């Protein structure tokens, strides 16, 4: 059993967007920070979202005005600090006779445009579906009127990894594949016992304050010896998505209303595909084993086909994914009505703080981190220093203007003329200005090493293993990228073989938190 002698100011259990966001903010304020994640970063809820940075238009129906306002403010803040992985997206909301009336949609969108301090994103406009190109994919003569509004698209898993990368660059210790097996408090200090799930090595660290950002496992973490009786409860809600081949040529997304009161999104995805989701159903079981059910797949196909001229069928589906949202249990009768707001529970057994997080959403992770540190301020030595800095400091690769992504693509092709346009575009949108660091001194395609398919090369794989905690092919093709949509099973298998042949096992307490 290895015991690290130093005592951290803050230890965090959970490497999703909330845990990594808190780690980044805390270390940037001068605290010493340790984070452990039992699997890969963003391997749970944070990589299975609808990929949106949005205010949550439908939350207005449940009077969640504070949450919507906060999320709308965060849209442009997050776009500003990560313009390579976040981009504006226009949504078309058709008016469906017999469902929400047009006046209610107009009122909701008026609030959406004005309560969140929108500065850069374009405002809502009315659309004549019989004349505008966005009406062409829809069933002819069924829908005549729509409203088009703004939100943003995000690469959710990369958002998590970049928060972790920035935290590590500033001194945080990040440990993946490291499960917290027991948490105990004595003499004003928490001791976290851990198991490296790759090597079987056991270790311990100590910290003055502890954050439980376990997501769907938040209650399970509390059961590992914390010695607290949590008042808050988690409600597990399953959200599933389907991906099909590209359904239309324009660049807008759709928000479709359903007769059951729910909505689904239909979103252009990875250039050649369309993403459709999500479902909302209570989940009972192991969150690690959640999968899209045949009933959910059919539901999404049917809901989309209510609007689209070319029906979507289960046979069209090329990929599905499903995640479990750890919502705060507010007693709502239906999963769709459960609050998406976040709730904290602060316990101080023996005087040592343990902050548990319930709920939250991708869009509000940065604000959640700020509020978490406000709650822990009495226990942290530097809690107030540099308050609010995370909304001004770009995430790794995001040190550019929001409109400069096309210029970066041109710069990459000028500096590395052997790169095809699509290859340069993918690298720019994934790594931003750090794509230049990834490519290094390469003078030809051969300098990038082995090609695994779909523009993925040995140079990029080595970068991800050294800098972004990638350990398996799954980490690379489904979380660091979505190249799994383009690579064959044999190609992914060959990548896994290469990784196993080139991996070096390291002790979880001796390994640096990923090189910068």
Would you kindly state where each structural domain of the chain is located, as residue ranges?
Answer: 2-45+157-233+339-391, 88-151+235-330, 405-502
Please check the confidence at residue 3 and state whether its pLDDT lies above 90: no
pLDDT digits (tens, 9 = 90+) for 293-313: 999 999 999 999 999 999 999
pLDDT digits (tens, 9 = 90+) for 116-127: 888 999 999 999
pTM exceeds 0.85 for this model: yes
Number of C-beta neighbours around residue 195 at 10 A: 19
State how far the Cα of 305 lies from the Cα of 307, in Å rounded to an integer: 5
Give the C-alpha distances (Å, rounded to integers) separating 167 from 10, 33, 161, 216. Answer: 13, 9, 10, 23
Considering the chain, what is the average pLDDT of its residues?
Answer: 93
Homologous superfamily of domain range 2-45+157-233+339-391: FAD/NAD(P)-binding domain (3.50.50.60)
pLDDT digits (tens, 9 = 90+) for 85-107: 999 999 999 999 889 999 999 99
pLDDT digits (tens, 9 = 90+) for 233-265: 999 999 999 999 999 999 999 999 999 999 999
Task: Please calculate the CA angle 26-16-427 and round it to the nearest 5 degrees.
Answer: 95
pLDDT, mean of residues 153-170 = 98
pLDDT cut 70: percent of the chain above it: 96
- Assess contact for 146 and 137: CB atoms under 8 A: no
pLDDT digits (tens, 9 = 90+) for 487-513: 999 999 999 999 999 985 433 333 334
State how far the Cα of 17 lies from the Cα of 14, in Å rounded to an integer: 9
Residues with Cβ within 8 Å of residue 448, at least 6 apart in sequence: 439, 442, 457, 458, 459, 460
pLDDT at 1: 63
Q: Which CATH architecture has domain 405-502?
A: Orthogonal Bundle (1.10)
What fold is seen in the domain 88-151+235-330? Answer: D-Amino Acid Oxidase; Chain A, domain 2 (3.30.9)
By mean pLDDT, which of 223-232, 419-428, 466-475 is the weakest? 223-232
Dig out the tokens for 442 from the structure.
Answer: 């390469």
Please check the confidence at residue 167 and state whether its pLDDT lies above 90: yes
pLDDT class for 4, splitting at 50, 70, 90?
low
Instruction: Specify which residues 235 forms β-bridges with.
Output: 327
Please check the confidence at residue 275 and state whether its pLDDT lies above 50: yes
């Amino acid at each position: 059993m290895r015991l690290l002698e130093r005592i951290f100011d803050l230890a965090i259990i959970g490497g999703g967007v909330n845990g990594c966001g808190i780690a980044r903010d805390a270390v940037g304020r001068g605290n010493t920070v340790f984070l452990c994640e039992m699997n890969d970063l963003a391997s749970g809820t944070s990589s299975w979202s609808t990929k949106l940075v949005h205010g949550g238009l439908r939350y207005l129906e449940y009077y969640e005005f504070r949450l919507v306002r906060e999320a709308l403010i965060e849209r442009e803040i997050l776009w500003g600090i990560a313009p390579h992985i976040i981009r504006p997206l226009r949504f078309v909301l058709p008016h469906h006779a017999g469902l929400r009336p047009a006046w209610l949609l107009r009122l909701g969108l008026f609030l959406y445009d004005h309560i969140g301090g929108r500065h850069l994103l374009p405002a809502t406009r009315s659309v004549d579906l019989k004349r505008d190109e966005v009406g062409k994919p829809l069933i002819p003569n069924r829908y005549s009127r729509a409203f088009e509004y703004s939100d943003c698209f995000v690469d959710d898993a990369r958002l998590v990894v970049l928060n972790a990368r920035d935290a590590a660059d500033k001194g945080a210790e990040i440990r993946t594949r490291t499960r917290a097996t027991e948490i105990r408090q004595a003499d004003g200090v928490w001791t976290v016992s851990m198991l490296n799930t790759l090597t079987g090595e056991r270790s311990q660290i100590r910290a003055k304050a502890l954050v439980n950002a376990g997501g769907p496992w938040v209650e399970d973490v509390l059961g590992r010896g914390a010695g607290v009786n949590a008042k808050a409860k988690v409600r597990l809600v399953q959200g599933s998505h389907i991906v099909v081949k590209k359904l239309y040529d324009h660049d807008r997304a759709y928000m479709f209303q359903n007769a059951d009161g729910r909505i689904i999104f239909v979103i252009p995805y990875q250039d050649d595909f369309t993403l459709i989701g999500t479902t909302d159903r209570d989940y009972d079981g192991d969150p690690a084993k959640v999968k899209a059910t045949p009933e959910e797949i059919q539901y999404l196909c049917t809901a989309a086909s209510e609007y689209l001229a070319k029906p979507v069928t289960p046979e069209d589906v090329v990929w599905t994914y499903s995640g479990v949202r750890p919502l705060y249990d507010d007693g709502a009768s239906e999963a769709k009505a459960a609050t998406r707001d976040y709730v904290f529970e602060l316990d101080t057994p023996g005087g040592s703080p343990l902050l548990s997080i319930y709920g939250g959403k991708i869009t509000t992770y940065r604000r959640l981190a700020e509020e978490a540190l406000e709650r822990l301020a009495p226990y942290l030595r530097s809690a107030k220093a540099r308050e609010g800095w995370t909304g001004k400091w770009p995430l790794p690769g995001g040190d550019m203007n929001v409109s400069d992504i096309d210029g970066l693509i041109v710069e990459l092709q000028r500096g590395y003329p052997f790169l095809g346009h699509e290859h340069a575009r993918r690298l720019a949108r994934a790594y931003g200005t750090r794509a230049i660091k990834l490519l290094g001194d390469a003078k030809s395609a051969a300098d990038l090493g082995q090609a695994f398919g779909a523009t993925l090369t040995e140079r990029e794989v080595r970068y991800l293993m050294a800098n972004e905690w990638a350990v398996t092919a799954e980490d690379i093709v489904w979380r660091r990228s979505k190249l799994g949509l383009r690579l064959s099973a044999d190609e992914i298998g060959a990548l896994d073989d290469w990784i196993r042949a080139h991996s070096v096992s390291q002790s979880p307490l001796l390994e640096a938190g990923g090189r910068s």
